[in-house]
Structure 1
Amino acid sequence: MAAPQLTLWEAVVALAVRVPFARAHVERVLGATLRATGRGGNELFYLYESTPVPLAGGVVIANVDLRIAREGSHPGFMVLDIGGSCVSLADVRRQYGTLRLTGYPRGRSFHETTSHTSQRSWGTLSFGFAERNPDCLSSIAFDPAKAPPP
């Protein structure tokens, strides 16, 4: 019997629990294999991506973009591209309360996003709503490097 699928919110919490990010932890949480991108990264980061990951309620993580530092103490960075069933801004606010508007489209592309950010103890969690479908969540960015000072 297959294990029940995580909800989007369960996945977000489980991924954020372990900072700095590690490829193996992300793979375990999502039940997905991350592969090095064709670019193999750059001088600062290893870059990994995934195939789609189905979640409960018809939500899909269309891709995981994970960046892990080659050297030093940078905690990494991760973006989940979201698809499938629509997750609204109201849904995000029900989970994370008040959000700060941190980015908005400048009229250059339908891929630009409006970003709403929640400060967490480990860093920031930003929720992107793309111009091509502004009512539905299109991405979630985890940025542990923006942790509040102790």
Structure 2
Amino acid sequence: MLALSLGVTPACSEGSKKMHTTVQLSLWQLIDQLGAQQPIRREPVEHLLHTTLARTESSNEYFTFWSNGDGAPIALDDGTRIERIVLRTSNEGDARGALTLTLSGRCIRRDDVKGRFAGMRIAGAPSGRSPNEETTFRSETAWGELVFGFAERNPDCLSSVGFGEKTK
């Protein structure tokens, strides 16, 4: 009963024994809510996505990296799935955090993203070494920056969303 009141539905992945969570938000609603929760920190991300992030071995004296590791995907209301979460937080109080969500599920077309985030500019292009390399586009927001990635394996479908805080 508690899970339903929080807008969370536990379910089992098809062909897998891993439980996944359904968050009652669309990708666009999730982007808005994550953007409103600045600075980017672990606890608010965990709360919003109903998951637990673990510190990774990539952490160093400057940054702590957090990930959902091999955890089950998080399904959103609109058919989008979050396969991987990577969060970078600073070990110095005033430095900015960053969050990347790796997506699957329904195809969110490049034109749909451009329609919502006018003024996107190309930020990076693949080198041709892997079908997982992305063409990335940046969009400035009131709270910081969004980076949208489109992998070469399916270049018209959104494969990742990155969140960065506004430069001080």
Structure 2 equivalent of residue 87 of structure 1: 108
Q: Is the 8 A contact 1:46 1:69 kept in 2?
A: yes
Does 2:61 match 1:43?
Answer: yes
SS at match of 1:57: coil
Structure 1 distance, partners of 2:134, 2:157, is 11
**Residue of 108, 122, 129 corresponding to 1:101:** 122
Q: How much does 1:108 deviate? A: 2.1
AA aligned to 1:41 is S
**Residue of 67, 74, 96 corresponding to 2:88:** 67
Structure 1 distance, partners of 2:146, 2:36, is 13
Does 2:52 match 1:25?
Answer: no
Does 2:99 match 1:78?
Answer: yes
Unmatched runs of 5 consecutive residues or more in structure 2: 8-22
Q: Is the 8 A contact 2:124 2:134 kept in 1?
A: yes
Structure 1 distance, partners of 2:162, 2:85, is 10
AA aligned to 2:107 is C
Structure 1 equivalent of residue 15 of structure 2: none
**Residue of 151, 154, 165 corresponding to 1:130:** 151
Distance change (3 Å), C-alpha of 1:17 and 1:108: same
Structure 1 distance, partners of 2:63, 2:77, is 31
- CA RMSD in angstroms comes to 1.6
**Alignment TM-score, normalising by the size of structure 2:** 0.80
**Alignment: residue pair count:** 146
Q: How much does 1:18 deviate? A: 1.8
Q: Is the 8 A contact 1:19 1:75 kept in 2?
A: no
Q: Is the 8 A contact 1:45 1:68 kept in 2?
A: yes
Structure 2 distance, partners of 1:35, 1:138, is 22
Q: Bigger radius of gyration, 1 or 2?
A: 2
AA aligned to 2:44 is H
